[in-house]
């Protein structure tokens, strides 16, 4: 059985807590709420630096999930970015004005297909870009 020393708080800390300057920020929205994040990194790195701890919920257990590898291997950083679901936040360069939403559970492809013209919704769901 693992020891208690293996279960620690996150190594990621908001920049203000880590003693770094937060003077330069860009504005994005997270789940419809304005958020100031540091520029010049990936979406995932900027959100972690701003103190965001939950990026999505596991579709199996419902547990909160957050980035793990930060290099596009684990898929724990999946977000909806500018209306495109299943984007790997660690691979997407941050841009001012991005509309970012957390992903909760599995996507409902049938609900997306019930638009006036289902073909584009189905094509987008099948071809959702990952990374850049």
Spell out the SS3 assignment of 57-107: ECCCCCCEECCCCCCCCCCCCEEEECCEEEEECCCCECCCCCEEEEEECCC
Residues 79-103: pLDDT tens digits?
999 998 889 999 999 999 999 999 8
Q: In this structure, what token pair is assigned to residue 77?
A: 């950083």
- Whole-model pTM: value is 0.67
Domain 10-126: which CATH number of 3.10.20.440, 3.40.50.720, 3.30.565.10, 3.30.1600.10:
3.10.20.440
Q: What is the DSSP letter of 42?
A: B
User: Which range, 8-12, 110-114, 128-132, has the best average confidence (pLDDT)?
Assistant: 8-12
Closest-CA residue to 44 (of 58, 35, 55, 57): 55
How do 78-81 and 84-88 pair as beta strands?
A: antiparallel
The domain spans of the chain are: 10-126
């Amino acid at each position: 059985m693992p020891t208690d020393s293996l279960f620690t708080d996150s190594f990621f800390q908001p920049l203000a807590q880590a003693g770094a300057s937060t003077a330069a920020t860009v504005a994005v929205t997270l789940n419809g709420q304005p958020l100031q994040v540091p520029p010049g990194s990936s979406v995932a790195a900027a959100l972690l630096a701003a103190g965001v701890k939950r990026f999505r919920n596991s579709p199996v257990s419902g547990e909160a999930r957050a980035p793990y590898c930060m290099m596009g291997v684990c898929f724990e950083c999946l977000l909806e970015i500018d209306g495109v679901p299943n984007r790997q936040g660690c691979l997407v360069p941050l841009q001012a004005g991005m509309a970012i939403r957390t992903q909760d559970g599995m996507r409902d492809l049938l609900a997306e297909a019930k638009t006036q013209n289902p073909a584009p919704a189905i094509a987008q769901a099948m071809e959702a870009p990952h990374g850049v």
